Chains A and B, each alone.
Chain A
Amino acid sequence: SCPLSTRCCAPSGAAPAMNCRAEVLEVSVEGRQVEEAMLAVLHTVLLHRSTGKFHYKKEGTYSIGTVGTQDVDCDFIDFAYVRVSSEELDRALRKAVGEFKDALRGSGSDGMGQISLEFYQKKKSRWPFSDECIPWELWTIKVNVVNLANEQERQICREKVGEKLCEKIINIVEVMNRHEYLPKMPTQSEVDNVFDTSLKDVQPYLYKISYQITDSLGTSVTTTMRRLIKDTLAL
Chain B
Amino acid sequence: AMDTDLSSQDRKDLDKFIKFFALKTVQVIVQARLGEKICTRSSSSPTGSDWFNLAIKDIPEVTHEAKKALAGQLPAVGRSMCVEISLKTSEGDSMELEIWCLEMNEKCDKEIKVSYTVYNRLSLLLKSLLAITRVTPAYRLSRKQGHEYVILYRIYFGEVQLSGLGEGFQTVRVGTVGTPVGTITLSCAYRINLAFMSTRQFERTPPIMGIIIDHFVDRPYPSSSPMHPCNYRAGEDNGAVYPSVEDSQEVCTTSFSTSPPSQCVFTVTKAHFQTPPPVVTDTLKVPVMGLAFSHQLSSSRLSYQPAALGVGSADMGYPVLFAGGLNAAHPHQLIGPGKEGGVPSVPTQPAHGTQADQERMCTPLDGVHYSAATPSSSEDTETVSNSSEGKCGSPHDLLETIFIRKVGAFVNKPINQVTMANLDIPFAMFAPKNVELEDNDPMVNPPESPETESPLQGSLHSEGSSGSSTGNTHDDFVMIDFKPAFSKDDILPMDLGTFYREFQNPPQLSSLSIDIGAQSMAEDLDSLPEKLAVHEKNVKEFDAFVETLQ
Contact A152 B132 (CB under 8 A): no
Chain B residues positioned under 8 Å from A170 (CB to CB) = 132, 135, 172
Chain B residues positioned under 8 Å from A179 (CB to CB) = 121, 124
Which of these, B55, B127, B298, B447, contacts A152 with CB under 8 Å?
B447
Chain B residues positioned under 8 Å from A229 (CB to CB) = none
Chain A residues positioned under 8 Å from B42 (CB to CB) = 52, 65-68, 84-86, 201-202
Contact A201 B44 (CB under 8 A): yes
Interface membership of A59, Cβ < 8 A: no
Interface membership of B53, Cβ < 8 A: yes
Given A55-B46, A69-B40, A162-B297, CB of A80 within 8 Å of CB of B134:
yes
Contact B54 A66 (CB under 8 A): yes
Interface membership of B504, Cβ < 8 A: yes
Interface membership of B41, Cβ < 8 A: yes
10 residue pairs, one from A and one from B, having the closest CB atoms: A177-B175, A166-B135, A71-B37, A68-B40, A70-B39, A68-B55, A201-B42, A68-B42, A53-B44, A66-B50
Interface membership of A208, Cβ < 8 A: no
Task: A87 to B175: give the CA distance in the assembly, Å.
Answer: 28
Residues of B participating in the A interface, judged by any CB pair closer than 8 Å: 37-47, 50, 53-55, 116, 121, 124-125, 127-128, 130-132, 134-136, 139-140, 143, 172-176, 230, 234, 297-301, 447, 449, 451, 501, 504-505
Interface membership of A196, Cβ < 8 A: no
**Nearest A residue (CB) for B45:** A65
Chain B residues positioned under 8 Å from A155 (CB to CB) = 301, 501
Contact B55 A67 (CB under 8 A): yes
Task: A51 to B123: give the CA distance in the assembly, Å.
Answer: 9
Contact B40 A70 (CB under 8 A): yes
Residues of A participating in the B interface, judged by any CB pair closer than 8 Å: 1, 44, 47-48, 51-53, 55, 63-71, 73, 78, 80-82, 84-86, 151-152, 155-156, 159-160, 162-163, 165-166, 169-170, 172-174, 176-177, 179, 185, 200-202
Contact B504 A169 (CB under 8 A): no
Task: A82 to B230: give the CA distance in the assembly, Å.
Answer: 13
Which of these, A65, A152, A185, contacts B53 with CB under 8 Å?
A65
Chain A residues positioned under 8 Å from B301 (CB to CB) = 155-156, 159
Instruction: List 27 A-B residue pairs with CB atoms under 8 Å apart, sorted by A's residue number.
Output: A48-B127, A48-B128, A55-B46, A66-B47, A66-B53, A66-B54, A67-B54, A69-B54, A69-B130, A85-B40, A85-B41, A85-B55, A86-B42, A151-B504, A156-B301, A159-B449, A160-B298, A163-B297, A163-B298, A166-B135, A169-B134, A170-B135, A173-B132, A177-B173, A177-B174, A177-B176, A202-B44
